[in-house]
Amino acid sequence: MKKLLLAIVLIASVLCVKQANASSYSVNEQAIDQLFVNAVETSMISVNATDLSSLATNVPTTVMAAQKDAVVAIVLDFFLGGLGIHRFYLGTETMTGIGYILTCGGIFGIVPLVDFVVLIIDNKDISKYVNNPKFFMWN
Amino acid sequence: MNQSFQGILLFLGFFLINVSLQAQQGSYISLKQQTEILENKKKISNEVDLFYDNNKQIITKYYHSAKEFILVTNALGEIKTYYPASNEVDYKQISELSSKRNLIYYFANNLTDDLGLVDEGFNLVSNTNENQFYVTLWKAPSFLKGIETVKMVFENGLPVYSEYQASRKKIVKKTYYTNYKDFTQFRLPLKIIEISYLPSGDSIINRTLFSNIKVSSSPDGKYFNFKIPDDAKSVSIAKGK
């Protein structure tokens, strides 16, 4: 009986998650309309022609995240690498930090040491380490 | 004689079908595009008449809501901006603003499977079904910093939602495509809502509305084949200084 109840709860949870995902694919247009209605109109006189032309293109203009500084990451790695602070600076998953704690500072400091080396080697382009969810960011 | 007559009839039939299909192809699209951007309780609005020549892949936009000017963009990203009041023209080359990066190009040519993601270097990594939705996940090219994946969601074969993700949990942009209208050869969303999430925690909402859409086989709009006057003064160098 307990197993049956557990199975029902599990199925219900899966269905709820699926439903939640599906509902997130549509927008509340009324809420958006209200935001525009309440907003203050601003003049476009200072906006130039090229700015205007880019308003409705397919260019992901707003998706570029702020650039990360390799030097900052290296310094953080040097002093606080055992806690994985440099990884959070670069952007990563919470699990990476937990992994650092569970493995006594990234397998006794080996992981931050390798991170330190690869950050120095690749200091001109550290993009592959930015928002990297892997525990071994160089892998 | 009878066979020749049948041949002529067959030829005429094919000819008429071909002409009819060409007419339906919708090589020339004109529409009114209204864009509103909302940030921090302030909004800017802009209205433009857009003329798209699908044969030459040229987009001509006539801006009249703020300053009057005409902007012509081709597939190579060559941009000519003409200011009628001062008879000046500005030349630029910005590949990101190519006519082939405009949503009109993708919808008019039924390239809605990826809406240009493949052209930008994205690779399809998975596809799943969620209720009535078909969901595809695209991996970003390594040179695109700050983006890991893009999720695209389709309903009845049409894109209804896309999501740019910096990581699995961090969404940087959501786009909703709604109010689809059927044309003979393609379907176009009359409303596109884009929400961009800034690192500061704020967001920018960009709402685009298309109206007064005309699709034809001949260029019957004023700004199709728009020619910049020969005597227009170039201001590109002056502005570049």
* CA gap B96, A50 in Å, rounded: 11
Residue at A10 is within a domain = no
Contact A76, A68 (CB under 8 A): no
Query: Under a CB-based contact definition with an 8 Å cutoff, are residues A109 and A81 in contact?
Result: yes
- The 8 Å CB, 24+ separation contacts for B141-144 are B142/A127, B142/A128, B143/A127, B144/A60, B144/A63, B144/B120
How confident is the model at residue B8, as a pLDDT? 57
Could you give phi then psi for residue A100, rounded to 5 degrees? -65, -45
Q: Which of A32, A40, A52 sits opposite B193 (nearest CB)?
A: A32
**Contacting residues of A for B44, CB less than 8 Å apart:** 41-44, 47
- The yes-or-no verdict on residue B85 having pLDDT over 50 is yes
pLDDT band with cut points at 50, 70 and 90 for residue B24 = very low
Stretch among A61-65, B2-6, B203-207 having the lowest mean pLDDT: A61-65
Q: Residue A3's pLDDT is what? A: 58
pTM, two decimal places: 0.65
pLDDT of B44 reads: 86
Q: Is residue A44 part of a domain?
A: no
C-alpha to C-alpha distance for B168 and B161, rounded to whole angstroms: 17
Q: Enumerate the β-bridge partners of residue B62.
A: B49, B70
Please indicate, yes or no, if residue A109 is contained in any of the structural domains: yes
User: What Å distances lie between residue B63 and B144, B219, B225, B235, CA to CA?
Assistant: 31, 19, 16, 19
- Reported as a pLDDT band with limits 50, 70 and 90, residue B214 is very high
pLDDT of residue A72: 85
Q: Identify the residue with better confidence: A1 or B209.
A: B209
A96 or B38, which is more confident: B38
Please state, for a pLDDT cut of 70, what percent of chain A lies above it. Answer: 65
> If you average pLDDT over residues B161-188, what whole number do you get?
91
Q: What is the DSSP letter of A67?
A: P
Q: Looking at per-residue confidence, does B199 or A76 come out higher? A: A76
Residues of B in contact with A58 (CB under 8 A): 101-103, 106, 115-116
Residue A118 lies in a domain: yes
User: Is there a contact between A52 and B164 if contact means CB atoms under 8 Å apart?
Assistant: no
Domain membership of residue A41 (yes or no) is: no
Comparing A21-35, B31-45, B135-149, the range with the smallest average pLDDT is A21-35
Query: Does any domain span residue A55?
Result: no
Mean pLDDT of A106-128: 86
**Dist. CA B47–CA B33, nearest whole Å:** 6
Q: Tell me the C-alpha distance between A25 and B158, whole Å.
A: 13
Q: Do A44 and B206 touch (CB under 8 A)?
A: no
Q: What is the mean pLDDT of residues A17-40?
A: 78
Q: How many CB atoms lie within 10 A of CB B106?
A: 21
pLDDT surpassing 80 at residue B12? no
Helix then strand then coil, % of chain B, to nearest 5: 15, 50, 35
Q: How many domains does chain A have?
A: 1
Average pLDDT, chain B: 85
Q: How confident is the model over B37-61, as a mean pLDDT?
A: 90
Is residue A34 in a domain? no
Q: What is the mean pLDDT of residues B15-34?
A: 66
Domains and CATH numbers, chain B: 26-240 (2.50.20)
- Containing structural domain, residue A74: 70-129
How many Å apart are CA B209 and CA A114, to the nearest integer? Answer: 51
pLDDT over 80 at B54, yes or no: yes
- Which residues of B are less than 8 Å from A59 in CB distance? 96-97, 101
Q: Is residue A96 part of a domain?
A: yes
